A and B are shown apart, each in its own frame.
Chain A
Amino acid sequence: MTPIIGSVDLGHAYGDVVALHHVNLEVPPGTTGLVGANGAGKTTLMKILLGILTPTAGHVDVMGIDPHVDPIAVRSRVGYMPESDCLPQDQTAADFLIYAAELAGIPTRAAKQRASDVLTLVGLHEERFRPLGEFSTGMKQRAKLAQAIVFDPDLVLLDEPTAGLDPEGREEMLALIGRLAGFGINVMTSSHVLSDIESTADWVVMLDGGHVLREGPLSTLVDAHTVEVELFDAIDEVIDALDRAGATVRRTSHSLLVSHPTADPFATVRDAVVAAGASIRKLASRSHTLEDLFLGDAAPSGAGVETGRSRTP
């Protein structure tokens, strides 16, 4: 499958500060999560993809077009929702959306229809004649998403789309993002909230300090076939039985994490428990989360990545 975004040894520096270094990407069509702490280089990468910033090293292409060589061609097909505000305070949502569509070359009549449709889609139809300066944070985020998709782009870049939202607003925004792929729009969402990426992306790029830590399908990255088992008694006997069966066992304060390179870990645990005559309190699968991967791979500067539940120290 032809990658929608590809880069080879991509680099960018702001003077002496290196923001991106040897970034090699092959992002397939679909929904991609760009994960990294603040300052990891996510926004810099997005600005390079739009042709706003020029790479200081390497090469990048977006849908087969080099944004440095032909930024207009890329911008005709790519929507962008920035992290910061991008809405004129004194304009109504409807007027701004019509203008945002016309700016992309949509004829006026079609722009009016699309503005109305997209405002309905993001849940702002009732508020369409209110000035954007009167909108709440959640409404502004939805208006920002609306302007990014109003001209039916092939790819939309969403920079921290859930920033500043309360839990309910966050869920609504994630649900909207989740629907975009079904509309035929490829999505790249940048976030430092890992659970947001887990719930929306099917391809993940992890950035740390301007480097790519990992890149691949979410399912491959997070699925490690590990079983978590809690026992009432005979813990040591069960561990011995698991060792004999060739399983890898990690003991935590209250449970055992069991994996097996070839066999089904559930069956291995079942057999070990029976052999040891132990009683099970809890048995469940335990996948790696992006948080596990990120905290395992990232340098200490990875602080600032949020799990969605609590901020890491």
Chain B
Amino acid sequence: MSEPYATDQGAVFDLGYVPHDGPRLGRGAAIRATIRDGLRRVLGLRRRARKKVLPFLLIAISLLPAVGLVGFLFLSTTLTEADLTDTPFASHANYFDIVAGPVLIFSALAAPALLISDREDGVLAVYSSRPLSAYDYLLARGAALAIVVGGFMVLPQTLLYIGFSSLGGEGFAANLLEGGGDYLRSLAASVFYALAYGMPALLVATFARRIGVATGAYLGLMFGAGVFSRVLVDAGNDWAAWLAIGDHPHVVRDWLFGRTTPTLIPVDAGLDSWASLLVIVVITLATGLITDRRYRGLL
């Protein structure tokens, strides 16, 4: 610190520059910081209010049915979980049909925000002077997307699990144990939904230069693939069921919960459940390889 500039009114100190003598936490800390930044970005945290509107609206849409259902069951003196088995969203498995739409839209918005902003604003140059490889960066961004998209599904499932467990006559602890199997299956299904919806969104965002273009292209891809696949399968081309990207996580969910939904394109075309699992795994690996290749030389 230099000598202060002093007057009879006070003194101005130039604090200068203080070297950092403390610890440097390295690569792991850099990855964690990138994940944290990704979470803030997709949720609009520490950004202006308008950046928060859409993500929190979508979260509310995915949570409200579960909140309403559990609340209704608490308030009702006559109804039990068993009475609601025919209600579309009154089970862990069925609830995925409610959240699939918001998750798809959220993925369409979040993946471009994670990748395109950094590329177009030139922020990759900052990452290139930090202890972080292109692989680390992409892993962290993918993890941020997976955490939020997964959270979209896990939050209402957890609410349902705790709500249902509070209502049965066996007592809370016994009900938790009894419903634990379905809850774990819903967690596993959430992972496959996050991969099936999130990875194509990341892949599109890897190449698009504008967030709006990436969002539109992703939604077009997901809906277009579904329509294209349905038309071809109806015309007798069963191979086209492999292309029904949006339906494959539903098939895997049904597989996990030991049930079948005949209207799903892969089921209609006679594809085995493992084929849907294979499609999700291939999409995940292909996205990883392609994005990693794209970012070499940029970071």
Contact = CB atoms under 8 A, between A and B. Distances in A.
B132 interface: yes
A110 B29 CA distance: 13
B122 interface: yes
A91 B125 contact: no
A92 B46 CA distance: 8
Interface string A90-134: 111001000110111111001000100110110000000001000
Contacts of A153: 129
A117 B18 contact: yes
Nearest to B127: A103
Interface string B277-299: 00000000000000000000111
Which of B22, B128, B298 gathers the greatest number of chain A CB atoms within 10 Å? B128
Which of A105, A118, A179 gathers the greatest number of chain B CB atoms within 10 Å? A105
Which of A72, A153, A157 gathers the greatest number of chain B CB atoms within 10 Å? A72
A22 interface: no
Contacts of B125: 80, 82, 84, 86
Contacts of B51: 90
A158 to B, nearest CB: 11
Nearest to A104: B130
Interface in A136-175: 147-148, 151-153, 157
Given A95-B46, A103-B132, A105-B30, A88 B20 contact: no
A106 B22 contact: yes
Given A105-B131, A147-B126, A91 B15 contact: no
Contact of A104 (B17, B121, B131, B298): B131
A120 B1 CA distance: 14
B211 to A, nearest CB: 11
Contacts of B34: 103
A118 B124 CA distance: 21
A91 B26 contact: no
Given A86-B121, A91-B47, A103 B126 contact: yes
A117 B17 contact: yes
B212 to A, nearest CB: 15
B25 interface: yes
Interface string B4-16: 0000000000011
A148 B129 contact: yes
B54 to A, nearest CB: 14
A118 B19 CA distance: 11
B121 A114 contact: no
A75 B122 contact: no
Interface string A262-299: 00000000000000000000000000000000000000
Interface of A: 47, 50, 52-53, 71-73, 75-76, 78-80, 82, 84-92, 95, 99-100, 102-107, 110, 114, 117-118, 120-121, 131, 147-148, 151-153, 157, 179, 183-184
29 contacts: A50-B129, A52-B128, A52-B299, A72-B131, A76-B24, A76-B130, A76-B131, A79-B129, A80-B125, A84-B122, A86-B126, A87-B121, A87-B123, A88-B117, A89-B117, A91-B47, A95-B46, A104-B130, A105-B23, A105-B131, A106-B20, A106-B24, A107-B25, A110-B22, A114-B20, A121-B16, A121-B17, A183-B16, A183-B19
Interface of B: 15-20, 22-27, 29-30, 33-34, 37, 46-48, 51, 117-118, 121-133, 297-299
